[in-house]
Structures are given as structure tokens and as C-alpha cells.
């Protein structure tokens, strides 16, 4: 396999030319997207350059606290993103989202880290620390990004459905149903809505779509079978984390809509 082709400043400047073409096309067609495309280009460059330097520092620093700080920042940004994408402003929703994503991601990473990456029978050259930044940060970032999307879809679906179904819910309550029983179908529908994009992606992956992770690894010189193995691992991580996140979040949200007397709180 050929050596990795490293991109220098000239290469990146040429890549920016692609966005120049996009801005030119927008102006030609009078789409009004020129400013948005320019801002997106600038932010992409700035954010990823900063990210590269931060990761270089974290990898060189080799400290568990530094890894935990990075993970906490990514987790908090993900939770805020979910809160902002749920239209109804619920006071308790940020800690609820944060906790749901934290628990699901932590459980998944513990499983992956200690049963697969840190498997005891591996060679001495393999990592033997739970905070190995090369593995923990990329895997956590991928999982957190997908959990954020699943949580946002499920949360918004559940909140909007409950707000539109007050009469049905109160009818169930008047007939003796518990709050959880009154909204159980809405919760199931919300969970399905949150997890279906992941299932659909798994159904067509490698056939219709070539995942960005495999593409990146192939470009970096990784063996194709090795890249495919990591993609399998990552897809399974995403699936279980998304399901756990939507389960925890929707259960917590269902409780928010009822008071201590099991009465529905109208928004």
C-alpha cells in the first residue's frame, strides 16, 4: 500500500477553492447563500485547526484528566444541542439530556474499552490504559454526535406528541391508567423515531453509502478489512448508545409532564 499523502497548506488552499466555486454558483443562481457558505467555510477551517492543535496537545500530554475534560466538553455541547432542538423549553431538560447521554455513552465506552480495545490477551504493544486518547476521544466523539441526533429526534417527537394529545392522555388517566401507561405508546413511537435513522443506515452501509470513517481510514493508509472491522464496531456502538439514550431521555421526559398527583401538566 502506498504511503500516506500528507496535505500541506497549498493543498488546503486548493480545497478552499471548492467552497469558492460553491459561493460563485450561489451568486450565479441568486440563491442568497454566499454569506452562509463563507461563514461555514471560515468556521470549518478555524474549528478543525483548533481541534487539531488541541488533540495534538492532549495526545502528547497523556493525562487522564485532560481526556476527561475533553469528553465533558463534548458531552455538554451535545446536551445543549439537544435542548436547543426541542422546541418546548422545559426547565429540567438540560440535566436530563446530559445525564441520559452520559450514562449511555459511558456504559458503551466501558464495554468497548475493556472487552475489545483493552482485551487482556492482546500483545504488549497494545494500549493498557483506559484513558488512551487515541481510542477514547475519537470513539466517544462519534458516539456522542450520534446520540445527540437520536436524543433530539426522540425528545422533540415525544414532547410535540404529548402536547398535541392532552385529551387522550387525560382520558386514560381518568380511567385509572398511570402516567407511564397513559403515554407509553407515545414514548415507544418517539424511541422508534430516534433509532430508525441508525437502523436504516446499518441496512445500507457498504452497499449504498461508504461511511466517512472507512473513507478516512482508507485515505490514511489503513488496510480495507481493518477499516471495515472498525466501522462494524462503531456502528454497533452507535446503535446501542442511541437506543439507551432515547430510552433514558424519553422515560425522564414522561415524568416531567406529570405532577406528584399524577396529573398532566399542560404547557
The residue ranges of DSSP E strands in 114-156, in sequence order, are none
CA distance 105 to 139: 10
Q: What is the pTM of this model?
A: 0.82
* pLDDT above 70 for 257: yes
Q: Kindly report the length of the chain.
A: 267
The CA-atom distances, in angstroms, between 157 and each of 44, 130, 199, 211, 246 are 30, 36, 18, 27, 11
pLDDT value, residue 220: 67
> CA angle 78-256-92, nearest 5°?
45
* Range list of β-strands (E), 30-85: none
137-181 pLDDT tens trace: 888 888 999 999 999 999 999 999 988 888 898 888 888 888 888
For residue 205, the cross-strand partners are: 209
Phi-psi region of 4 (alpha: psi -120 to 50; beta: other; left: phi over 0): beta
Residue 259: DSSP 8-state: -
The CA distances from residue 230 to 106, 183, 235, in Å, are: 19, 38, 9
Compute the Cα dihedral for 225, 128, 78, 181 and give only its sign: positive
Report in angstroms the alpha-carbon separations of 34 from 18, 23, 48. 13, 5, 21
Mean pLDDT throughout 120-141? 70
In angstroms, the CA 60 to CA 50 distance is 15
- 101 vs 190: CA distance, rounded Å: 16
Instruction: For residues 53-66, give the mean pLDDT.
Output: 83
Tens of pLDDT, residues 207-232? 766 666 677 666 666 677 777 888 88
- Between CA 226 and CA 210 the distance in angstroms is 15
Over the stretch 64-88, which tens digit does the pLDDT of each residue have? 888 888 899 999 999 999 999 888 8
Give 45: exposed, middle or buried? Use CB within 10 Å, 0-12, 13-18, 19+: middle
Amino acid at each position: 500500500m502506498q504511503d500516506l499523502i500528507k496535505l500541506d497548506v497549498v493543498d488546503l488552499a486548493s480545497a478552499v477553492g471548492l467552497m469558492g466555486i460553491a459561493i460563485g454558483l450561489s451568486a450565479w443562481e441568486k440563491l442568497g447563500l454566499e454569506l452562509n457558505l463563507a461563514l461555514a467555510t471560515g468556521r470549518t477551517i478555524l474549528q478543525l485547526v483548533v481541534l487539531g492543535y488541541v488533540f495534538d496537545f492532549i495526545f502528547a500530554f497523556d493525562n487522564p484528566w485532560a481526556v476527561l475534560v475533553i469528553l465533558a466538553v463534548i458531552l455538554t455541547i451535545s446536551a445543549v444541542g439537544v435542548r436547543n432542538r426541542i422546541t418546548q423549553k422545559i426547565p429540567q431538560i438540560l440535566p436530563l439530556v446530559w445525564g441520559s447521554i452520559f450514562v449511555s455513552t459511558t456504559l458503551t465506552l466501558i464495554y468497548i474499552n475493556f472487552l475489545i480495545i483493552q482485551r487482556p490477551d492482546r500483545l504488549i504493544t497494545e494500549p493498557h490504559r483506559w484513558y488512551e486518547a487515541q481510542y477514547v476521544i475519537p470513539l466517544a466523539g462519534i458516539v456522542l454526535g450520534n446520540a445527540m441526533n437520536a436524543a433530539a429526534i426522540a425528545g422533540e417527537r415525544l414532547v410535540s406528541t404529548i402536547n398535541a394529545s392532552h385529551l387522550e392522555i387525560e382520558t386514560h388517566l381518568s380511567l385509572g391508567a398511570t402516567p407511564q401507561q397513559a403515554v407509553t405508546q407515545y414514548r415507544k413511537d418517539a424511541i422508534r423515531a430516534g433509532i430508525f435513522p441508525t437502523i436504516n443506515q446499518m441496512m445500507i452501509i457498504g452497499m449504498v453509502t461508504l461511511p466517512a470513517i472507512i473513507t478516512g481510514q482508507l485515505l490514511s493508509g489503513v488496510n480495507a478489512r481493518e477499516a471495515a472491522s472498525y466501522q462494524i464496531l462503531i456502528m454497533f456502538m452507535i446503535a446501542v448508545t442511541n437506543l439507551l439514550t432515547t430510552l433514558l431521555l424519553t422515560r425522564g421526559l414522561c415524568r416531567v409532564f406529570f405532577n406528584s398527583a399524577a396529573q398532566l401538566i399542560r404547557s
